[in-house]
Amino acid sequence: MKPGILIYGMGRMGKFFYDFFFSRGYDVAGYDVVPERRTIEEDKIESYDVIFLCVPMQAVGDAIARIPRSSALIVDISSIKGFVLPYLDASGFDYLSIHPMFGPDSEIGLSNIIVVKKSGRKEEEVILEEFRKAGAVLSELPPEKHDAKMAEIQGLAHFLLVGMAHFLAERFDREDLKYASPIFATLYKLSSRILNQDWRMYYYIQKNAEILRREFIKSLADLDAKFSDEEKFRKLFEELGSKFDDYGNSTLILDACKATWDVSTIELLRGYIRAVDSLILRLLERRTQAGRKIALHKRDRNEPIEIADLEEVKIKDLLLRTSLNPIYVQDIFENIMGLTKEEEYRVLGIKKTLAVLGPAGSFSEEAALKLVGSRLPLKYCATTDEIIKCVENGSADYGLVPIENSVNGTVISVLDALLNHDVEVFGETTLEIVHCLAARRYMPLKEIRVVYSHPQAIAQCMGFINNYLKAELRYTSSTSDAIALLDDYSAAIVSENAAKLHKLYVLRKGIQDAKANTTRFYLIRKKGSGEMRGSITSLFFGVEDRPGALKDVLEVFYRKGINMRKLESRPARTGLGDYVFFVEVEKDLSSEDLRELRNVTTFYHIVGVFDRVERLDLWG
Ligand SMILES: O=C(O)C(=O)C[C@]1(C(=O)O)C=C[C@@H](O)C=C1
């Protein structure tokens, strides 16, 4: 049977023990003089088998006097036993006196717990075993020796740190930390941490260390003489060096906060792992905290939360620096970045993401910005296939894919992908493609020696180029490549959006030959993730291999007065001459319409029922 445990004093240390036993399935209750912190009232205290006394040292006497007499085992956790044990001895309670050498924010794994006095009760063994199982390092010291050791361990350490702060207070300000070494920064932060705690416990620790402190001050004065003499200094350094092992600094953080290095038993190894886990968790918290701040900068700069290139580079760097299984390491870091991104989206209130064809400055981005108004929720993909896969596997909520351009026609790769992936169309939007001639500086057109752009953009602007430019044309594979190649005597054909993004000077806007150059985009989402509603239906269908088979389908639309906006045929991939057809009709097809279609087709597959969309809310 597990003993029932009462935590008397629900401050931070009390809460630590409360959580520790609660998560291990104990019947735990908390009592505090502050009523809001209690989980039980005073009259229930006596029904518990073990009472953890988690009050400040100066309050121990009062607390013991208030606890109703019972056969409970008291557990004392105070730092200086000379102050508190007399109260416990006088109380008549059985007690276990321990000194946990860690604070409420640290992790029990590999933390020292000094057992100072035992009662011999069986509950005591259960509790100590629970600490041991959690990977704590248990050691024993009788009360007097404990206090003498604490004078060294806590008394001297606090004295040094507070002494340093005291000496530096007038001459060193926070700004000077920019010159600090890791050792100084560590000491400085430790001093700051101590000085921001309640002073009482530190006062008692110093009271316990009075004699030792004086000896120490004397030894420091002697040391000063040795430090001024090279030979004495060398001897001192070497002698001390032989007594203090070098632990290296590869795991400095862990070694510094955990004083134990002999991790040989399975419990201690588990404690080690627990301590490492806790460190990882703290670091993850810090990482996401930094992410939240980055998100605010991104909002100010209108940059997307997700930067896939940066993630890729980071992961590559990490994989180069480890011999661990790269598949796991990659997975772990992708998840870590996922966690950071989620926080970044959360802090800005973004609930959904939209995948678009990148990079920033693309026409797809321009269409997305019209819908969403911000780059923050955009997820840039390298191909339309990647967009469709992201939407299908849930790594983006929505996708924006070009389906046709008034000059170049249907985007076949998108059409094929729509047939083969579990996505559906829920909206459409259009963008007028306006090409601009942009340069790094203002210059007359005749000064331009080279024009860079994607072959398609150059082809769409040949009229302007022939009439107004005497420049060499150079093809690039993307708009960003074109921009990267610019010098003071060249120009690029880019979108206005890209020119703005890269702070280019727009020499001429709208230089494309066809003044009505429009791209139509589909908005897609995972299949079945929303209601299919709208005045336009997109569908694929197949027909039998016989004369008039296609005509029979078109006949259905004709008879019902359904206008068809688009008709395409695509290879069915089942054999030469086998085709599937894609149509867009201006109607939300009724079950009667579909029944008729079923009669004249071998199959049909609806990929979307939708309307034009002006705004897409990703914050809602
Ligand atoms: O560096 C940033 O911009 C971040 O937001 C951090 C972080 C990351 O978790 O490492 C997150 C999102 C970006 O896709 C890239 C990197």
Q: What percent of the chain has pLDDT over 90?
A: 83
What are the residues facing 28 on neighbouring strands? 5
Q: 439 versus 257: which is more confidently predicted?
A: 439
Q: pLDDT tens digits, residue range 354-388?
A: 999 988 888 999 999 999 999 999 999 999 999 99
pLDDT class of 248 with cuts at 50, 70, 90 = low
Q: What's the CA-to-centroid distance between 565 and ligand 1, angstroms? A: 43
Average pLDDT over residues 600-608: 95
246: phi then psi, degrees, rounded to nearest 5: -90, 120
SS3 390: helix
Q: What's the CA-to-centroid distance between 306 and ligand 1, angstroms? A: 6
Ligand 1 in contact with 340 (CB < 6 A)? yes
Q: What percent of the chain has pLDDT over 70?
A: 98
What are the residues facing 8 on neighbouring strands? 31, 53
* Residue ranges per structural domain of the chain: 5-141, 147-244, 267-347, 435-516, 531-612
Which stretches of 107-151 are DSSP H helices? 122-133, 143-150
- The Cα–Cα gap between 615 and 334 comes to 31
293: phi then psi, degrees, rounded to nearest 5: -70, -40
- The Cα–Cα gap between 41 and 495 comes to 71
Nearest alpha carbon to residue 452 among 475, 420, 484: 475
Atom index in ligand 1 nearest the CA of residue 314 equals 10
Q: pLDDT tens digits, residue range 176-208?
A: 999 998 889 989 999 999 999 999 999 999 999
Average pLDDT over residues 294-312: 95
Average pLDDT over residues 574-578: 77
Atom index in ligand 1 nearest the CA of residue 291 equals 5
pLDDT class of 255 with cuts at 50, 70, 90 = low
pLDDT, averaged across the chain = 93
Average pLDDT over residues 391-404: 96
Nearest alpha carbon to residue 95 among 121, 131, 59: 121
Average pLDDT over residues 66-75: 95
pLDDT class of 259 with cuts at 50, 70, 90 = low
70-79, 272-281, 304-313: range with lowest mean pLDDT? 272-281
267-347 CATH: 1.20.59.10
Run of H or E residues at 431: strand 423-432
Tell me the CATH architecture of domain 435-516. 3-Layer(aba) Sandwich (3.40)
Ligand 1 mutation target, pool 286, 302, 332, 344, most atoms within 8 A of CB: 344
54: phi then psi, degrees, rounded to nearest 5: -115, 50
Residue 338, pLDDT > 80, answer yes
Q: What is the dihedral of CA 65, 115, 96, 3, to 10 degrees?
A: 130
Residue 276, pLDDT > 90, answer no
Contacts of 549 (CB under 8 A, 6+ apart): 543, 600
Q: Which CATH class is domain 531-612?
A: alpha beta
Residue pair 374/361 in contact (Cβ under 8 Å)? The answer is no
Give the pLDDT confidence score for residue 477 in this predicted structure.
Answer: 83
Q: Do domains 5-141 and 267-347 have the same CATH topology?
A: no
What are the residues facing 603 on neighbouring strands? 542
SS3 432: strand
Average pLDDT over residues 218-241: 94
Cβ-based burial of 270 (10 A; exposed 0-12, middle 13-18, buried ≥19): middle
Domain 5-141 of CATH type 3.40.50.720: yes
Is-cis flag, bond preceding 359, omega within 30? yes
Q: What's the CA-to-centroid distance between 292 and ligand 1, angstroms? A: 10
Give the pLDDT confidence score for residue 202 in this predicted structure.
Answer: 95
Q: pLDDT tens digits, residue range 95-152?
A: 999 999 998 888 788 889 999 999 999 999 999 999 999 889 999 999 999 999 999 9
Q: What's the CA-to-centroid distance between 285 and ligand 1, angstroms? A: 14
Q: What's the CA-to-centroid distance between 284 and ligand 1, angstroms? A: 13
Ligand 1 in contact with 291 (CB < 6 A)? yes
End-to-end CA distance of the chain: 51
Q: What is the dihedral of CA 60, 61, 66, 69, to 10 degrees?
A: 100
- Buried b / exposed e over 90-100, threshold 16 CB at 10 Å, is eeebbbbbbbb
- The Cα–Cα gap between 488 and 448 comes to 9
- The Cα–Cα gap between 144 and 131 comes to 24
Average pLDDT over residues 310-327: 93
Cα separations (Å) of 16 from 21, 192, 495?
9, 23, 59
